[in-house]
Amino acid sequence: MAFEREIFVNLIWSPEGRALRHLFLAERAASKIADVPEDTPKREIKSVAVIGAGTMGGGIAMNFLNAGIPVKMLELKQEALDKGIGIMRKNYEAQVKKASIKQDQGH
């Protein structure tokens, strides 16, 4: 047990251990906004709109779709919208092949 304790203490104070504690606390701090009371009412997100179907817009849209939130996408040209949706479709097909999601999840 003394040996296990020594290893444990060394791990606690390792750079990785410190980084993990920092990340843990930072994640919690990021969810709080200064000067906003805890009892501030939250609004339900029923749908979102994403401007641009490029790499970033497509990724943002997929995150909301994965959370079950309907997404509307706006793009200047139909070709750009079609290309962005096509990339999203390929990403979902790749996830189905890897068994990350099921075909019938309806994204």
pTM value surpassing 0.75: no
Q: Residue 6 domain-assigned?
A: yes
Q: Residue 70 domain-assigned?
A: yes
Overall domain count for the chain: 2
Q: Does 29 lie in the same domain as 77?
A: no
Q: Does 59 lie in the same domain as 27?
A: no
User: Which residue from 53, 46, 61 is spatially nearest to 81, judged by alpha carbons?
Assistant: 53
Q: Does 92 lie in the same domain as 53?
A: yes
Print the domain residue range for 71.
44-107
Q: Does 59 lie in the same domain as 23?
A: no
Q: Residue 38 domain-assigned?
A: no
* CA within 13 Å, CB half, 40: 8
Per-residue pLDDT of the chain (107 residues; tens, 9 = 90+): 999 999 999 999 999 999 999 999 999 988 888 888 889 898 999 999 999 999 999 999 999 999 999 999 999 999 999 999 999 999 999 988 888 666 665 54
Contact 13, 5 (CB under 8 A): no
Q: Residue 91 domain-assigned?
A: yes
Cα–Cα distance for residue pair 16/20, rounded to 1 Å: 6
